């Protein structure tokens, strides 16, 4: 840190989420944007983000930014295959990763946790940075104790590459961790078309919708005798993810190891 500020670099800075992160870091007290990385370089990342010149170029060379700009934290909103390489490069230089890219393999997260512990630094991978979405998962875990019949429907924009979403998978994992005897449909049911019953994550069925007009939405349906409980979260603007990103950037400076999910920061 310099002048008490946390030095932040953003990779994927020209994307929709990346531009939002750039705008947030620039205006957030105690954070300092020192680097921005995208596939197409530009003279100023602030211009790309729509806030005017900020004196930070948009580079296409992550290694150069990590070495020369010396960030404390690297925020990544890119693609799963690229994010793995970005995090490995950051960790090699002791830079703390905050990853919002979904679809990261579990073995990669476990490997990063070991590296973080060796280097005595923190990191975080979160399938969703919206506080409301994290609370949705917490409420679902509690509800599963009383409503073991459960299915998830997640809806995202048509440019999302992974399905089911990381949030839906994490929700299913939280529900399973409740220890409730999960039930979804009949054990002898038959799919007349493959995939009709959705993905199976620990016995929880997940159905994915991809259409223009959506941002990020999820419903969890719990069925019971004569009643249905629905827990729903809607992200209608990408700004909803920014308080969680800022929380993560600050938090990774304070602990050792790689966390999965924002939940431990909300206790």
- Cβ within 8 Å of residue 193, ≥6 positions away: none
Instruction: Determine whether 170 is an active site residue.
Output: no
Element (H, E) at 222: strand 216-224
User: 156, 207, 217, 233: which is the annotated catalytic residue?
Assistant: 156
- How many Å apart are CA 255 and CA 13, to the nearest integer? 26
Closest alpha carbon to 246 in 77, 89, 103, 75:
75
Instruction: Determine whether 160 is an active site residue.
Output: yes
CB 44 within 8 A of CB 19: no
Tokens of 250: 């600050």
The helix, strand and coil proportions of the chain, stated in percent and rounded to the nearest 5, come to 35, 25, 35
User: 70, 149, 157, 160: which is the annotated catalytic residue?
Assistant: 160
Which residues does the annotation mark as catalytic?
Answer: 156, 160
């Amino acid at each position: 840190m310099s002048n008490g500020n946390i030095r932040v670099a953003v990779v994927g800075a020209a994307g929709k989420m990346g531009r939002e992160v750039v705008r947030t870091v620039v205006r957030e007290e105690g954070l300092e944007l020192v680097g921005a990385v995208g596939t197409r370089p530009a003279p100023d990342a602030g211009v790309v983000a729509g806030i005017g010149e900020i004196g930070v170029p948009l580079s296409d060379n992550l290694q150069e930014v990590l070495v020369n700009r010396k960030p404390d934290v690297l925020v990544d909103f890119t693609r799963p295959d690229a994010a793995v390489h970005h995090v490995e490069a950051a960790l090699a230089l002791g830079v703390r990763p905050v990853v919002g890219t979904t679809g990261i393999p579990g073995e990669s997260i476990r490997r990063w946790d070991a590296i973080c512990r060796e280097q005595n630094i923190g990191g975080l991978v979160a399938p969703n940075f919206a506080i409301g979405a994290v609370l949705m998962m917490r409420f679902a875990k509690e509800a599963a104790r009383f409503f073991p019949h459960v299915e998830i429907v997640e809806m995202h924009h048509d440019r999302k590459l992974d399905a089911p979403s990381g949030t839906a998978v994490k929700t299913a994992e939280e529900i399973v961790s409740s220890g409730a005897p999960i039930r979804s449909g009949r054990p002898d049911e038959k799919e007349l078309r493959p995939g009709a019953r959705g993905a199976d994550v620990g016995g929880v069925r997940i159905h994915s919708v991809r259409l223009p007009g959506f941002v990020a939405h999820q419903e969890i349906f719990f069925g019971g005798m004569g009643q249905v409980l629905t827990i729903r979260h809607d992200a209608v603007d990408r700004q909803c993810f920014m308080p969680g990103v800022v929380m993560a950037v600050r938090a990774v400076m304070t602990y050792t190891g790689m966390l999965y999910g924002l939940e431990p920061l909300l206790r």
